[in-house]
Amino acid sequence: MRAKARAHTNIALIKYWGKRDEKLFLPTNNSLSMTLDKLYTDTSVEFNSELTEDQFVLDGETMDVEETTKVSQFLDKVRAFTGEKRFALVDSVNHVPIAAGFASSASGLAALAAAAMKASGVDFSEKDLSRMARQGSGSASRSIYGGFVEWQMGELADGSDSHAVPILPQDAWDLRVLSVEVTHEVKKVLSREGMKRTVETSPFFDGWLKAVAADLVEAKRAIEARDFTLLGETLERNALRMHATTLGANPPFMYWQSSTVKVMEAVQELREQGIEGYFTIDAGPNVKVVCQPDQEQKILDALNEIDVVQNIYPCKIGPGITYLDE
Ligand code: PMV
């Protein structure tokens, strides 16, 4: 059986930062994201009884043992859920600059989960799929849905209530995201390691947990009322709070480079001139700027003037998982 799925990446407005269970990928807080239209991954999975091991092809290249093992370990979770026994050929094409902080893991793992579940031929719900994608990469749980999405952390030890839910459809509020690339460098502290170190050693982590709960309430209120200023102020503050926890870790670390700060300052200066955009940053040096359609071009032009800016990928709000015919 063979199936092909497309999953779009997402940008968290309220960040997932911290796990309470490393193995099951259970978070310490709810998070909230927007799915993006231009950055996505297409993945096909074929379970085949003639294969003697899993094979993984990424962007046309057969991957080495290390990369293939990661995919294989995730496929083992799908096989345990579906009863599928065969090995698989996985063929993936990324339309995301990998490891540049553009959350390629979200679209990659969501597409892999969807194609593998479908190819196994069993019935499954979107909740099942979100729970499965979560166990590949937490942020992938949110890429199952389009529009605005909340990942509810759940309470149960087995993770069965920890999955994403859609909170506003793709076309309900037209916001834009400019993904600003300041470096192609691969990140130094992967999100998985960064979160773990923060949870275990940062005295600021307790403060984060208190703050994130309040930020989530504000963000949901803003989305409900389509209040862009409230949403923007909340998302920028939440990103800064997340990054503050890393400075308190031991050993401390930070995802920003001087170029990151230059873009952050530019966004704040634009606001002083009445051009309203707000930044957010994930586990890497690149910056995403959220704005309304009528300000997008002005912000794009201004950011393009900054010497450290290498590329800008303008996005609209995107759809959830789609299955592709071949
Ligand atoms: O699930 P991961 O490993 O892609 O971690 C995501 C962590 C952040 O991007 C920093 C926040 C988020 O909610 O996406």
pLDDT in tens, the chain (326 residues): 899 999 999 999 999 999 999 999 999 999 999 999 999 999 999 999 999 999 999 999 999 999 999 999 999 999 999 999 999 999 999 987 654 545 568 999 999 999 999 999 999 999 999 999 999 999 999 999 999 999 999 999 999 999 999 999 999 999 999 999 998 776 689 999 999 999 999 999 999 999 999 999 999 999 999 999 999 999 999 999 999 999 999 999 999 999 999 999 999 999 999 999 999 999 999 999 999 999 999 999 999 999 999 999 999 999 999 999 86
Tokens of 60: 């046309």
Cβ neighbors of 125 (< 8 A, separation 6 or more) are none
Helices (H), 154-257: 191-201, 205-225, 228-247
Q: SS3 of 8, please?
A: strand
Q: What are phi and psi of 40, to 5 degrees?
A: -150, 170
Ligand 1 centroid–CA 139 distance in Å is 5
Beta strand 163-168 with 87-95: parallel, antiparallel or unpaired?
A: unpaired
Q: How big is the chain, counted in residues?
A: 326
Tokens of 104: 């390629």
Question: DSSP code of 209?
Answer: H
Task: Tell me the best of 282, 287, 288 to mutate to test the pocket of ligand 1, counting ligand atoms within 8 Å of each CB and taking the most.
Answer: 282
Cross-strand bridge partners of residue 46: 2, 89
Tally of CB atoms within 10 A around 273: 9
DSSP string for residues in 91-137? EEEEES-TTTTS-HHHHHHHHHHHHHHHHTT----HHHHHHHHHTT-
Task: Tell me the best of 13, 15, 74 to mutate to test the pocket of ligand 1, counting ligand atoms within 8 Å of each CB and taking the most.
Answer: 15
Task: Tell me the best of 177, 191, 254 to mutate to test the pocket of ligand 1, counting ligand atoms within 8 Å of each CB and taking the most.
Answer: 191
Q: SS3 of 212, please?
A: helix
Q: What is the pTM of this model?
A: 0.96
Ligand 1 centroid–CA 140 distance in Å is 9
Tokens of 322: 């789609």
Dihedral angle, C-alpha 287, 292, 293, 298, nearest 10 °: -60
Rounded to whole angstroms, the Cα distance separating 89 from 295 reads 44
Tokens of 238: 């939440």
Rounded to whole angstroms, the Cα distance separating 294 from 38 reads 19
Ligand 1 centroid–CA 18 distance in Å is 9
Dihedral angle, C-alpha 14, 241, 211, 268, nearest 10 °: -70
Q: Indicate if ligand 1 lies below 6 Å from the C-beta of 9.
A: no
Cβ neighbors of 277 (< 8 A, separation 6 or more) are 178, 232, 267, 270, 271, 289, 290, 291, 295, 299
Rounded to whole angstroms, the Cα distance separating 221 from 231 reads 8
Question: DSSP code of 170?
Answer: T
Residue type present at position 30: N
